[in-house]
Amino acid sequence: MSCSKKQGQAPQSVSFLEAFRFWLKLGLISFGGPAGQIAIMHEELVVRRRWLSERRFLHALNYCMMLPGPEAQQLATYIGWLMHRTWGGIIAGALFILPSLLILIALSWLYIAFGDQPLVVGLFYGIKPAVTAIVIQATYRIGSRTLTNPGLWLIASAAFVAIFALEIAFPLIVLGAAVTGYVAGRIWPHWFSGPARADALTPVATDALIDDHTPAPAHARFTLAGLVKLLLVGGLLWLLPMASLMLAFGWEGTLTQMAWFFTKAALLTFGGAYAVLPYVYQGAIAQYGWLTPVQMIDGLALGETTPGPLIMVVAFVGFIGAYVQQVFGAEQLFLAGAVAAVLVSWFTFLPSFLFILAGGPLVESTHNQLKFTAPLTAITAAVVGVILNLALFFAYHVLWPQGMSAAFDWPSALIVAAAAVALLRYKRGVIQVIALSACCGLLVHLLRLS
């Protein structure tokens, strides 16, 4: 059990139940995207509770930033694993996403069932421009942190041209950036020092339960047998549901294709959720037709307003795709959507757990020695160009909803501009901007109806 302590002192121990309660609380309040989520964990675990030191926290964060997948969720998994072994990591990571999944299933059903009501139409009329501004903000935020020299600007520009003009698939852009980074990093290593920390966190110099010099616990020490065992278990956790889907629906079945598609997406999310969204819309909209561009924008808005990682928008994509295609028949639309949402979440997040549980021991053995690689830096630079293309994609469907040959939507343009100023100039919160934009959209819609 955890021992009582005065404010500002490190605890002597933390029980599994106490950790469980914290991770559940975090899953319910983790709004604000990865920046806000990481800041919450830093404040709670490093500053207030003193469960681990500043240096150990940043060491884990740097590793999570190197991985494909949502870094905040992976950081929670890492800390949970470090403190309470494998089940601690699983509980921490699962509770980080479970509330968001349940909320998105409910919101997805309300959206698809009642989305044609005037009130809902008006609200989403204002939300869509806000989402466009949010993606513009993400482009600026990641670009200002990443593009620190002409070489990285060149990679970002090439990635934009590749996806916008040449329509090259996102995985090929990632591969090309990695190869470019590997080769160029050997010639100009000073251009590829790697991405900085996700956020500027207030340094804390205090004692902690897991301090700078606390040795790695027994379960956090690398063994080849442990790695092989984990990879075998992870392989089975992927293979068994995939094989079951193939037997039940065939390889071309909607749920089978979703499972395979989001497995690939999970391995391409370098740079956060906004990096993988272009890949998702390339496949989910253009290739498979699971949802429309407008629905994709609406889904991103719902993802922004729920706790948990933004990549949970995949649950919306799965729900809408299975619901519209009636994979279980016309009488079980909600069941089809809910099952698809759970399935795509499973295949999206399974690699994140495996990366942490398999790589954690190696990271602990290289404490304070972890280096970012040139290929990773190049991929992150390419992501900036890809996200810029996503911003233009959203802007086109918001500002010319009927196509370029139709009229320009001036009210939407004004909402985009106002939301962008609020986000970039006045640093307003995402949820606040979405709420105000929704009210503006509803007002415009009601005036048009009157």
DSSP codes of every residue in 158-205: HHHHHHHTS---HHHHHHHHHHHHHHHHHH-GGG------SS------
Q: What is the pLDDT of residue 61?
A: 76
E-strand stretches of 289-334? none
Summarised one tens digit per residue, pLDDT across range 380-432 is 788 788 778 878 887 888 888 877 777 899 999 999 999 999 988 888 877 78
pLDDT value of residue 36: 62
Q: Residue 377 — left, alpha, or beta (φ > 0 → left; ψ -120 to 50 → alpha)?
A: alpha
pLDDT class of 333 with cuts at 50, 70, 90 = very high
Residue 429 to residues 70, 126, 142, 304, 373, Cα–Cα distance (Å): 20, 16, 17, 11, 33
Closest listed residue to residue 229, CA positions, set 337, 361, 138: 361
The residue among 158 and 213 whose pLDDT is bigger is 158
Query: Between 332 and 377, whose confidence is greater?
Result: 332
Question: Does 165 reside within a domain?
Answer: yes
Instruction: Kindly state the DSSP code that residue 333 receives in the 8-state scheme.
Output: H
311-163-352 Cα angle (round to 5): 25
Confirm if 349 and 93 have CB atoms less than 8 A apart: yes
Asked, for residue 373, whether it belongs to a domain, the answer is: yes
Q: Is the separation of the CB atoms in 99 and 386 below 8 Å?
A: no
Q: Which residue has the higher pLDDT, 87 or 435?
A: 87
CA Rg, the chain, in Å? 22
| Residue 263, in any domain of the structure | yes
Query: What is the CA 390 to chain-centroid distance, rounded?
Result: 15
Determine the average pLDDT of the residues in 168-195: 78
Task: Kindly state the average pLDDT of the residues 196-213.
Answer: 60
Per-residue pLDDT at 195 = 45
Is residue 380 within 8 A of residue 151, CB to CB? The reply is no
| 210 in any annotated domain | no
Q: Which two tokens stand for residue 377?
A: 């830096």
**Residue 445 reports pLDDT greater than 60:** yes
pLDDT over 70 at 371, yes or no: no
Answer whether residue 70 is part of any domain: yes
Q: Which of 16-20, 121-125, 292-296 has the highest mean pLDDT?
A: 16-20
The average pLDDT across 105-113 equals 90
- 344 falls within a domain: yes
What is the reported pLDDT for 193?
Answer: 59
Can you give the pLDDT at residue 221? 85
pTM: 0.74
- The reported pLDDT for the residue numbered 186 is 80
Q: Is a pLDDT exceeding 90 seen at residue 342?
A: yes
Cα–Cα–Cα angle for 377, 182, 281, rounded to 5 degrees: 55
As a whole number of angstroms, the distance between CA 88 and CA 126 comes to: 41
Distance CA 11, CA 404 (A): 62
Give the Cα separation of 223 and 63 in Å (integer): 19
What domain range is 122 assigned to?
Answer: 16-194+223-449
Residue 56 pLDDT = 82
- Rounded to whole angstroms, the Cα distance separating 296 from 78 reads 31
Q: Considering only 46-50, 152-156, 232-236, which range has the smallest mean pLDDT?
A: 46-50
| Pairwise CA distance, residues 160 & 384, whole Å | 8
Please state the rounded mean pLDDT for residues 351-366: 84
pLDDT of residue 86: 94
Any bridge partners for residue 52, and if so which? 210
Q: Could you give phi then psi for residue 326, rounded to 5 degrees? A: 50, 55
d(CA 115, CA 447): 19
Cross-strand bridge partners of residue 136:
none
Asked whether residue 4 is assigned to any structural domain, the reply reads no
For residue 389, the SS3 value is: helix
Residue 354, pLDDT score: 93
pLDDT in tens, 298-321: 888 788 778 888 788 899 999 999
Q: How far apart are CA 191 and CA 378, in angstroms?
A: 10
Name the amino acid, one letter, at 98: L
What per-residue confidence (pLDDT) applies to 101? 94
> What is the C-alpha separation between 245 and 256, in angstroms, rounded?
5
Statement: residue 55 has pLDDT above 90: no
Q: Residues 131-138: what's their mean pLDDT?
A: 82
Domain count within the chain:
1
pLDDT of 200 strictly over 90 = no
**Which residue matches tokens 């990096």?**
275
Percent of the chain with pLDDT over 90: 35
- Give percent above pLDDT 70 in the chain: 89
Q: Report residue 32's pLDDT band, with 50, 70 and 90 as the boundaries.
A: low
Residue 284 has pLDDT above 70, yes or no: yes
CA-CA distance, 285 to 305, in Å (whole number)? 22
- Distance between CA atoms of 347 and 260, rounded to whole angstroms? 8
pLDDT at position 63 is: 76
Of 400 and 379, the structure prediction assigns the larger pLDDT to 400
Give residue 272's pLDDT: 61
Give yes or no for a contact between 69 and 352, defined as CB atoms under 8 angstroms apart: yes
> Which of 16-20, 332-336, 374-378 is predicted least confidently?
374-378
Higher pLDDT, 444 or 115: 444
Burial degree of 311 (CB within 10 A; 0-12, 13-18, 19+): buried
The verdict on residue 305 lying in a domain is yes
Q: Can you tell me the distance from the alpha carbon of 86 to that of 260, in angstroms, rounded to the nearest whole number?
A: 26
**Mean pLDDT across the stretch 366-386?**
67
Q: What mean pLDDT, rounded, does the chain reach?
A: 83
